[in-house]
Amino acid sequence: ATDVIFPGGSMELVAELYKDNIQTEYYNHLVAEQVQQHVRHFTRRFPRSTVQVFEVGAGTGGTTAYILESLAATASRIRYLYTDIGAVFVKAAEPQFGTRYPFTEFAAYDIERAPAAQGFEPHSMDVVVASNVLHTTRRMEVTLDQCRALLKPGGILVINELTQRLDYNTLTFGLTPGWWLYEDEETRISGSPLLCPQQWRKSLCAAGFDDAELHGLTGVAEDDHAQCVIVARAAQP
């Protein structure tokens, strides 16, 4: 299935799911707005400091493009780390974003492993962004602990994820091995790697996050959201 969906490692057949897609654009804008708001608050509060934003599982850069554009006005105050477990994605992203946004750095990174073991200072980031990636990890408890290990106390985690099991996704990306990597069925929506909003709140609280906010379609009840942007703050020690 992976060879069919991504022939020769190409993203061409699924590119429209990530770009020029109304639903994808809506949630990417939400992510960018949340990151931008936190960066603005940080730069006003700490006028001599640089804000560090760390994106995990950046993939093809579909969400990254929106975030970097929103941060361009404060380029001199930003350090943006573009990371993915796949070195091929990181290598492809550097010419795409590196010249236009020189405050961006690129590195391979596995969110299921500790920051120090991968060359990054623990508790040094102000924002961690994870768009449509955390559900592909084995145990959400471990994954969120490692997200927390990246963040300074008071830093924010911005998550963009599907929050309902949809047949469309099961019959497409459900054909790939990564969809079924999870080992903690009790934490996920039955028959999928996804978490519903209440499962996200519970998991984030257990991992040392508080003030979790859910952003999605206006006027939709929390439990009815098919996709959400969730913003949670790393609790003070």
Beta bridge partners of 81: 54, 105
Which of 69-78 are b and which e, b meaning 16 or more Cβ less than 10 Å from the residue's Cβ?
ebbeebeebb
pLDDT tens sequence across 39-93: 999 999 999 999 999 999 999 899 999 999 999 999 999 999 999 999 988 999 9
What span, in angstroms and rounded, lies between the C-alpha atoms of 41 and 50?
12
What span, in angstroms and rounded, lies between the C-alpha atoms of 58 and 22?
19
Of 133, 41, 10, 46, residue with least CA distance to 82: 133
pLDDT at 7 over 90: no
pLDDT tens sequence across 182-231: 999 999 999 999 999 999 999 999 999 998 999 999 999 999 999 999 99
pLDDT tens sequence across 112-150: 999 999 999 999 999 999 999 999 999 999 999 999 999
Q: State residue 19's pLDDT score.
A: 65
Q: Which amino acid is at 159?
A: I
Which of 214-224 are b and which e, b meaning 16 or more Cβ less than 10 Å from the residue's Cβ?
bbbeeeeeeee
Residue 150 contacts residue 225 (beta carbons within 8 Å): no
Beta bridge partners of 234: 209
What span, in angstroms and rounded, lies between the C-alpha atoms of 42 and 104?
18
